[in-house]
């Protein structure tokens, strides 16, 4: 019986009772219809009250311009989930367009219309369906079958056809489908995925006769093909098994004459550079060879006369404007320093909309006026002003980028690991929370985080977010340093961070906790195994506890996508290695305090991963706090669940990082 079915059975029996407490106050099961807690104590009222302001922070992300270019659509939350809203002027009210219990994701305006395409699942299952919303009537119609997993949608330039990826054929393969949107019965497969990789519609040609197809094998191996829709011919463009390289990361764009693609690849020297790929000769000419950082976003206007790109400079987003005809580009210095995304040119090409996030401000939409030539920027106007719960974000601690030495060497010197350090203003020594990102091919970026600021203020804790080996953003070699049998080298990077913490006079190396989600959850558990004598506590959020059971139980459509990173569990030698390094196989070595949180419907890291590590650690006589949300998947998307999780984490850190008398009386700030 799965964890989800067992919990569901409990709920059916106890459905008439909204809240049931069993066992003692410190060791119990609590059910309120959506949440199951075990071993977690009552949350003091003071914590709920203290956290209220931090939990009322909102943000806004740009979706697109309206068809007439006078307004914008944004994604934001006013209720419990993110929904689609319209804004008609700078600082204007956000008029809500969708009203669902589940978040509206993957939003994309239909070309030539104000109709909006979006995707939505149920309970975090990630079996997304595509919907088309008419903002004039508020009605949305489902375009997909209601059963398969659908995503990666791309509109034809005339807005009449849609291409997307779906598992509809067999529930396992990520095939490319196409339909005439006004006739959903026309849906058909145009590329049948021949293996376990993911095939996606990347871009339509301007004339609608060709479709660029992206075949994703791994973060370092993705390939481009060109599909002729009239003949069905699928012609390779770039990348191969013999010469693996990344030809993805962002969607390609056709040049105005349709003879080439603007693409991003690390094939030249391991850095993701923007360049021009000739469709006939397949020759690639780099454009950003003078910028030694990854290009992470690119957009071109409808007229083909202006383009914009974003470079990931050590975690900071740098915006550039570009002339598509010449490749000339210039950095925009008039916007605040932070993370830049959501690039959308206005329909007439005179303005560039973008989403901007900084350590002191949550995501909001800004509009950049464009100058007389393609690389000249004008004034910047802020269109949305997100609420921050009454917090004075000007006092928020900004992170410091440091590099600490680890166990191996590069060019005869210790390899250095980048990390962002948030230090409280008050004198130390401070307890420390180490936050480890997931992925593992992800990267911690210094974005707005009310959670970090909450820990800093209420716990007096420093927060450190390292980008251990395997992180993206630092070149092709770095992202592969933890693959397969090198897995525990990334864990060693956490050990090196603990050494660095021990050398900092304002940090208390005897009071350190680790926190991480998904793959970061594995890193938390592995750190507790290897460095338990140096760690007080760990929070494992939807994390992997055993690589073999994870690979066997993750959804079919994503299993082959994870094997290049972790290893193939079907190979006996690799299976033995994965079993040996998995935290659930070494649960007796976990003696630090542990809190495990999980969504029951998680298709990526099944709930059984959390269930087994909690069971094994408890079997060794140690208490484990657990929280299971029956209406969530891979991470909590609903605000009540997010709020409860944050309150429990603060209480957990209080009890394990602060002296007993302070923890019992309240946070240092009180």
| pLDDT, tens digit, 9 for 90 and up, residues 624-661 | 999 999 999 999 988 899 999 999 999 999 999 998 65
Task: Quote the pLDDT of residue 2.
Answer: 33
Could you give the dihedral angle defined by the CA atoms of residues 647, 652, 655 and 657, in that order, rounded to the nearest 10 degrees? -110
Evaluate whether residue 589 is within a structural domain: yes
Residues 303, 307, 310, CA angle at the centre, nearest 5°? 155
Residue 6: the pLDDT is 34
pLDDT in the model for residue 592: 97
The residue from 292, 312, 331 where one domain ends is 292
* 514 within some domain: yes
Q: 2 phi and psi, to 5 degrees?
A: -75, 160
Task: Provide the mean pLDDT of the chain.
Answer: 90
Give Rg (Cα) of the chain: 25
In a domain, 431, yes or no: yes
C-alpha–C-alpha distance, residues 269 and 82, integer Å = 39
Looking at 227-363, list the stretches that DSSP marks H as alpha helix, in order from N- to C-terminal side.
none
- Is 369 in the same domain as 351? yes
CATH number at residue 240: 2.120.10.30
pLDDT of residue 667: 47
Please check whether residues 167 and 269 belong to one and the same domain: yes
- The CATH number covering residue 507 comes to 3.40.50.1820
Q: Are 514 and 571 in contact (CB under 8 A)?
A: no
Same domain assignment for residues 479 and 574? yes
Inside any domain, residue 51:
yes
Same domain (yes/no): 346, 473? no
pLDDT, residue 194, reads 79
pLDDT of residue 560 exceeding 60, the answer is: yes
**Residue 437 falls within a domain, yes or no?**
yes
Look at the chain and report how many structural domains it folds into.
3
Which tens digits make up the pLDDT trace of 347-404? 999 999 999 999 888 999 999 999 999 999 999 999 999 888 788 888 899 999 999 9
Domain identity same for 512 and 622: yes
pLDDT of residue 660: 65
Query: Is residue 33 in some structural domain?
Result: no
How would residue 665 be classed by pLDDT, with cut points 50, 70 and 90? Answer: low
Q: Would you say residue 220 has pLDDT above 90?
A: no
Q: Is the pLDDT of residue 97 over 60?
A: yes
Q: How large is the average pLDDT for residues 522-547? A: 97
Q: Cα dist. 152→155, 191, 492 in Å?
A: 10, 14, 36
Write down the pLDDT at residue 564: 84
- Can you tell me the mean pLDDT for 282-289? 96
pLDDT value at residue 11: 35
pLDDT, tens only, 438-491: 988 899 999 999 899 999 999 999 999 999 999 999 999 999 999 999 999 999
Whether pLDDT at 127 is above 70: yes
DSSP codes of every residue in 341-384: EEEEE-TTSSEEEEEEEETTEEEEEEEEEE-SSTT-EEEEEE--
Q: Is residue 117 part of a domain?
A: no
**Domain stop point among 318, 353, 387:** 387
pLDDT, one tens digit per residue, over 229-261 is 999 999 999 999 898 999 976 779 999 888 999
> What residues make up the domain containing 183?
143-292
- Per-residue HEC secondary structure of 42-82 comes to CCCHHHHHHHCCHHHECCEEEEEECCCCCCEEEEECCCCCC
State the pLDDT at residue 65: 96
CB atoms within 10 A of CB 523: 32
Within a domain: residue 569?
yes
Do residues 402 and 360 both lie within one domain?
no
One domain for residues 420 and 545: yes
Mean pLDDT of 417-428: 95
User: Is there a single domain that holds both residue 280 and residue 303?
Assistant: no
Measure the CA dihedral 565/571/577/578, to 10°: 50
Percentage of the chain modeled with pLDDT above 70: 93
pLDDT above 50 for 537: yes
Domain shared by 473 and 602, yes or no: yes
- Are residues 298 and 287 both part of a single domain? no
Confidence band, pLDDT 50/70/90 cuts, at residue 5: very low
| Distance separating alpha carbons of residues 149 and 144, to the nearest angstrom | 9
* Residue of higher predicted confidence among 195 and 430: 430
For residues 586 and 655, state if they share a domain.
yes
Sheet of 273-278, strands arranged across: 253-254, 260-265, 273-278, 284-286
Least confident range of 26-35, 131-140, 351-360, 492-501: 26-35
* Residues 225, 202: Cα–Cα separation, whole Å: 10
Residues 299, 286 share a domain = no
Decide which of 272, 292, 312 is a domain's last residue.
292
């Amino acid at each position: 019986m799965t964890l989800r079915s067992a919990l569901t059975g409990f709920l059916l029996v106890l459905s008439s009772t909204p809240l049931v407490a069993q066992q003692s106050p410190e060791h119990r099961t609590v059910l309120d219809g959506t949440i199951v807690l075990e071993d977690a104590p009552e949350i003091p009222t003071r914590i709920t009250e203290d956290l209220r302001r931090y939990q009322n922070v909102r943000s806004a992300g740009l979706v697109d311009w309206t068809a007439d270019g006078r307004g914008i659509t944004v994604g934001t939350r006013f209720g419990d989930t993110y929904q689609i809203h319209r804004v008609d002027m700078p600082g204007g009210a956000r008029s809500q367009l969708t009203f669902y219990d589940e978040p509206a994701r993957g939003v994309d305006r239909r070309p030539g219309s104000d109709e909006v395409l979006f995707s939505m699942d149920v309970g975090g299952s990630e079996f997304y369906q595509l919907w088309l919303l008419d903002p004039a009537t508020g009605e949305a119609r489902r375009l997909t079958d209601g059963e398969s997993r659908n995503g990666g949608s791309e509109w034809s330039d005339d807005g009449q056809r849609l291409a997307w990826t779906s598992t509809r054929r067999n529930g396992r393969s990520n095939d490319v489908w196409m339909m005439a949107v006004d006739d959903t019965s026309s849906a058909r497969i145009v590329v049948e995925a021949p293996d376990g990789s993911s095939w996606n519609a990347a871009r339509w040609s301007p004339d609608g006769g060709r479709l660029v197809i992206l075949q994703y094998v791994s973060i370092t191996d993705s390939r481009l093909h060109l599909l002729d829709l009239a003949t069905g011919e699928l012609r390779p463009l770039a990348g191969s098994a013999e010469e693996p390289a990344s030809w993805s990361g962002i969607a390609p764009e056709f040049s105005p004459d349709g003879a080439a693609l603007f693409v991003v690849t690390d094939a030249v020297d391991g850095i993701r550079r923007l360049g021009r790929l000739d469709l006939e000769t397949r020759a690639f000419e780099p454009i950003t060879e003078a910028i030694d950082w990854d290009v992470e976003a690119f957009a071109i206007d409808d007229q083909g006369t202006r383009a914009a790109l974003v470079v990931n400079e050590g975690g900071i987003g740098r915006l550039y404007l570009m002339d598509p005809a010449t490749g000339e580009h210039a950095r925009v210095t008039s916007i605040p320093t932070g993370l830049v995304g959501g690039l959308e040119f206005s329909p007439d090409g005179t303005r560039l909309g973008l989403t901007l996030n900084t350590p002191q401000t949550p995501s909001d939409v800004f509009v950049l006026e464009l100058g007389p030539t393609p690389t000249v920027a004008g004034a910047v106007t802020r269109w949305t002003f997100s609420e921050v719960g009454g917090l004075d974000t000007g006092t928020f601690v900004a992170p410091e980028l440091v590099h600490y030495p680890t166990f191996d060497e590069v060019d005869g010197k210790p390899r250095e690991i980048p990390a962002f350090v948030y230090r409280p203003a008050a004198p130390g020594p401070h307890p420390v929370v180490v936050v480890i990102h997931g992925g593992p091919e992800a990267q911690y970026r210094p974005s707005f985080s009310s959670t970090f600021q909450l820990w800093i203020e209420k716990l007096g804790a420093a927060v450190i977010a390292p980008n251990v080996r395997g992180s993206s953003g630092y070149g092709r070699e770095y992202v592969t340093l933890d693959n397969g049998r090198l897995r525990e080298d990334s864990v060693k990077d956490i050990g090196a961070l603990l050494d660095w913490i021990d050398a900092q006079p304002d940090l208390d190396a005897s009071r350190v906790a680790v926190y991480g989600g998904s793959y970061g959850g594995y890193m938390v558990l592995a750190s507790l195994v290897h460095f338990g004598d140096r760690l007080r506590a760990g929070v494992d959020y939807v994390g992997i506890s055993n690589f073999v059971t994870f690979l066997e139980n993750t959804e079919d459509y994503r299993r082959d996508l994870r094997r290049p990173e972790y290893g193939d569990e079907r190979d006996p030698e690799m299976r033995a290695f994965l079993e040996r390094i998995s935290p659930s196989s070494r649960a007796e070595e976990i003696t630090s305090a542990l809190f495990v949180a999980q969504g029951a419907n998680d298709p990526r890291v099944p709930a059984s991963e959390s269930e087994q590590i909690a069971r094994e650690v408890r079997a060794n006589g140690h208490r484990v706090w657990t929280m299971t949300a029956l209406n969530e998947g891979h991470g909590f998307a609903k605000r009540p669940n997010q709020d409860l999780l944050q309150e429990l984490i603060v209480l957990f850190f209080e009890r394990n990082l602060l002296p007993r008398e302070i923890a019992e009386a309240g946070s240092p700030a009180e």
